[in-house]
Chains A and B, each alone.
Chain A
C-alpha cells in the first residue's frame, strides 16, 4: 500500500450502536485515491452501516472521519458526537457518490432528469450545462436512448446504471456501492458489473459492499472481511482467497456464497 500519499477518506475508531446492538465496533480504515476496496461479510456484520457512515447517512457514536486529511462532518457537544449542520455535511456528501441496493431513482423525473438533478439542484449549474453533463454520463453507462423515459419502464439493471450515472454526474471523488447487484435478477448482474468495472478502469476510488465475489476477485485492490462489527481479515484478493481459507468464519461464509 502506498502510505506516503494522503488517504482520501480515513476512519478512526468508528463505533455505531443501535439501542442494544453495536453494528460497528471500533473500525479503522484508510482508503487511498484510486483504490478499489471491497468489503464482504455476512448480513448484519456492519459492512453496510460502515459504508453509509462514510457519507454521513449514518450518524456514528464515536470515532473520527477524515476526508482529504481534514476531520469532517461532526461536532462535539456536551461530550457527545453530533452530525454537523447541513451547510457542512451536504457539500461533503456532494463529493461522495453513493449507489444503493434498491437504486432509489426519483420516479417522478425522467432518466435524464434524475441524472441532471445533482448538478442542477446541488451544484446550481445552469440547466444547459447540467444537461450536457447528464447526457455524458448516460452515454458512459450506455443508456443515452433511455433519457426521456421514466424509471418505472426500466429493467433493474438499467435502473442501477442510471443510478450510477446520477452519482457520477456530481463528479465525485469517491464512489460508495452498497450491494449494487443484490436486488437484480442474475442475468442483469453482468451489465451493472461491467459498468462498475469500466469506472474502476478510469481510476475512480471506490468502496464496494457486496456478496458478489466477482467484484472481489476481478476489481479489488484490497478485500476486507467484516463480521460482528469488526474487520476479521484483510488482504489483496489473490492472497485473500487463498490464505484466508484457513479462517473458519471466512471459510464458512465463502462456502455459502460461492
Chain B
C-alpha cells in the first residue's frame, strides 16, 4: 500500500489530475510516504513514550522552565535571522530578551522579558528557512526525511545554515559542542511532542490520509510563520458566489432541518 500509486505523473490529458499533481508538488511521494511511516514507527517506539514519561515524571512548572531555557538559547539565532530579514528593531528586541532572560530570568528559566514590567516583548521564532522565505524563495518540492521530518529544500538548507551559524554552541569547547546540541535538540523535541500528544492523536484519528494532512499543515504553518501573522490568511476561501449558491445553502439547510426532524423519533 505504501509504495502503490501516485509514483508517476498523471495522464497529461486529464486536466484535473495534472493540476492536482502539480499543486501537491510532491514528485517523490512514494519515498516520502515510506519515510513518513519510518518516522511514525520511531514515534511509536521512542518519541511518544519518551514524551509520555516526560509528562508523567516531570511536573508542569519544571517542564515549562526547561522549555524556556531551550527557547532562550535560541534567541541569538532568532536575532540573526530577524536581522537578515531586515527587521533590525526586532533583532534588537531578540537580543534584549536574551540578555534579560539569561540574567533576571535565571538562565532563561523564566520569560520575564515578556512581562510589560521589563521589556513587554513576546518571543518570536525565526530560522533561516523563514529568512529565505521572506526573500520569496519557494520551499520547493516536498521532502520527508527520517528523524528530521518534513524538510523541503528551502527548509533543509535553512536547517543546515542555522546549525552552522547558531552562535551559542560556539560558547562551548569543541568536544562538548555536539553533546550540547544533541541534548538541546532532545529536550525541545520531547517537549514539543509532549505538548502535541492530543493534537496529533486527533489529527491522525480524523484524517482520511494522515500523510497528506501533515503535508498541508506543514506548508500552511510555515507560510504563516514566514508572514509573521502580518498578512491575513490565504485568500483562498470557500465562496458563496451567486444568489443561486446562497439560496442553495439556505435550501440545503432547510433540507437538513427536515431530515433532522424526520429522523429524530427514530433515534
Chains A and B form a bound pair: no
